[in-house]
Chains A and B, each alone.
Chain A
Amino acid sequence: ETGVTQSPTHLIKTRGQQVTLRCSSQSGHNTVSWYQQALGQGPQFIFQYYREEENGRGNFPPRFSGLQFPNYSSELNVNALELDDSALYLCASSRGPQSSYNEQFFGPGTRLTVL
């Protein structure tokens, strides 16, 4: 069983640019959640996708957007990058949207640096 994978591992962008991060969910999982983990902080929930629809969103501006594909992989897009967007971006997949009883399995993350 393949675990959650994310690409790229590291990424450097400049302020104002756009970035796309990718996540492949674990086999049998139809739900993907995205988190932003700033240095020295705990992860913060960005949004969740379930069966290709957004299913909940944290306190992030609209320039953070996402997609989920029919194979349940997912993309996180960030437009108009700001310096504060520098962080580790984690995705997590689960068998269903109710993460209280569907364990979330995390990927290794993408380290984004905005200069």
Chain B
Amino acid sequence: AQTVTQSQPEMSVQEAETVTLSCTYDTSESNYYLFWYKQPPSRQMILVIRQEAYKQQNATENRFSVNFQKAAKSFSLKISDSQLGDTAMYFCAFMGAITGNQFYFGTGTSLTVIP
């Protein structure tokens, strides 16, 4: 069974600063995909970034980047130049390559950007 753990229930960061959200996972699959989703107070989940496990290079999307450590089964999200609009719940999610049709989500980290 796949499990995803987010050990930081709440975090805060000053506007324009950098923050890192942690995520660890457990799986016996060798090929899989990892995601970070953002859920603003309006509730609609939005994909932030994704990482294929077979790629060694860490994914980057503008101000968002990941630190993927496959051996440690760690997948952290770094948000640079934090903006007020980044305030949201952030969910780490795992998807195995074999089934490829269901996410396993962590419990989320509530991020507040302070002006």
Do they bind each other?
yes
- Complex Cα spacing A82 to B21, Å: 34
Residue of A nearest to B108 (CB): A42
- Considering the complex, which residues of chain A in the window 77-101 have a beta carbon less than 8 Å from any beta carbon of chain B? 88, 90, 92, 97-100
Question: A42 with B43: in contact, given A56-B99, A100-B95, A100-B97 (CB under 8 Å)?
Answer: no
Q: Classify chain A: how many residues form its interface, as a range.
A: 20 to 34
Q: Classify chain B: how many residues form its interface, as a range.
A: 20 to 34
The main secondary structure of chain A at its interface with chain B is: loop
Q: Chain A contacts of B66 at CB under 8 A?
A: none
- Complex Cα spacing A56 to B108, Å: 24
Q: Which residues of B contact A (CB under 8 A)?
A: 4, 6, 33, 37, 42-47, 91, 93, 95, 97, 99-108
25 contacts between A and B (CB under 8 A): A33-B101, A35-B103, A40-B107, A42-B4, A42-B105, A43-B45, A43-B103, A45-B102, A45-B103, A45-B104, A55-B101, A56-B102, A58-B102, A90-B45, A92-B45, A97-B100, A99-B100, A99-B101, A99-B102, A100-B95, A103-B47, A104-B103, A106-B37, A106-B46, A107-B44
Pick from A41, A99, A108: contact of B103, CB under 8 Å: A99
- Complex Cα spacing A99 to B33, Å: 10
The answer to whether A108 touches B102 (Cβ under 8 A) is no
Most buried by B among A33, A48, A58, A99: A99
Q: Chain A contacts of B6 at CB under 8 A?
A: 42
